[in-house]
Amino acid sequence: MQTPKLFALLPDYVSTPDGMAIDAGGNLILACPNFADVSMPGCLLKINKEKNISKWVDVPVLEETGCARPMGIAFGPDEDIFICDNQCWSGETDLMFKGRMLRLCIKDNKVIKSTIVAYGMEHPNGIRIYGDYMYVTQSLMTKVKDPSGLMVSCVYRFHLDDENIKVENTLEDKNIITTFLTHNPDCQYGADGIEMDAEGNLYVGNFGDGAVHKIIFHQDGSVDKNFVWAVDLQKMRTTDGMTTDENGNIYVADFSANAVARIDKNGNIERIAQSPDSDGFHGELDQPGEPCYWNGILVVSCFDLVIGPDKVNTQHEMPATLSYLEPF
């Protein structure tokens, strides 16, 4: 296994880094929901090829709650950025069903237009864009009561030009394309990391089960198959953010195990890096939330917040960090 290295100590206005995307200029954009210190605005950072870090913008808040909590992000073909605003990640009652999908047009480090694609969501988490559509994971659907008693989660599909879609968080939502049950009774947290391959197949991590599902589509865009494609709990315990390299390998942030796994095109899993509990200041994987393949390296955001009996992480520390792995 590799030894992760320190990519960056983040500015003091960041307490929780999460999703990443690459803009048209080759800059790395980092979403910071800042759950560890909610007095900090949710923001987007820009990191250039020289690793200079600056705040790009604060994400426009939901007036009702006074906050924005950006997690998954992705760029559309016109370079507008789409954002999973996961208002309710903390589980606070007054933030329930306040999540949004946002579209921001940003020029000269200013938001010149903010569009609400969808609102009322319980737990929007990861996003990928393919063609004219975005695919969004929703990790929890507490309104849906499966006969098994297990947690249901799903993937929503919205058109890039959709606006003001009211989400009900039930199976009646017409934008749901597929659902998941999480079978691990000790970690009832579902669809999280998401990725697309070059052929347009969708890959979704079922977090609690440590499994990656493959979703294959009919030509009309409807789902043909949704099946467990890769699972090996000895090598990958949880499935947070995901990214792909130029060879089609998928890299998965194993959030609970402080590890990163690689999955080849045949679904074979290899754990490529793992760290013990630490502050991450020397580059250790400190609860990895999302990897991003950028300029030949794998940059990994360190969420460093959640604790529990199944988590290696035991506490939050400042400053927040990014790690990286060398080419492999």
Residues 3/300, Cβ–Cβ less than 8 Å: no
Tell me, what's the pLDDT at 69? 98
For 244-261, write each residue's pLDDT tens digit: 999 999 999 999 999 999
CA distance 122 to 101: 11
What pLDDT, in 10s, does the model give residues 29-74? 999 999 999 999 999 999 999 999 999 999 999 999 999 999 999 9
Specify the pLDDT at position 295: 94
Q: Is the pLDDT of residue 326 over 90?
A: no
103-112: average pLDDT = 98
Contact between 30 and 45 (Cβ < 8 Å) = yes
Q: Tell me the per-residue pLDDT of 177-231, one tens digit each, with 9 for 90 and over.
A: 999 999 999 999 999 999 999 999 999 999 999 999 999 999 999 999 999 999 9
pLDDT given for residue 37 in this prediction: 97
DSSP string of 174-220, one letter each residue: TTEEEEEEE--TT----EEEEEE-TTS-EEEEEGGGTEEEEEEE-TT
Rounded Cα gap, residues 164 and 162, in angstroms: 7
Token pair 């979704």 is found at 204
CA dist 60 → 41, 101, 237 (Å)? 9, 12, 35
* pLDDT at 127 exceeding the cut of 70: yes
Q: What is the mean pLDDT of the chain?
A: 97
pLDDT at 108 > cutoff 80: yes
Q: Could you give the percent of the chain with pLDDT greater than 90?
A: 99
Question: Does the structure show a pLDDT above 70 at 308?
Answer: yes
pLDDT at residue 58, rounded to an integer: 98
Domains located in the chain, CATH noted: 5-325 (2.120.10.30)
**Average pLDDT rounded to a whole number, residues 123-133:** 98
pLDDT at position 328 is: 67
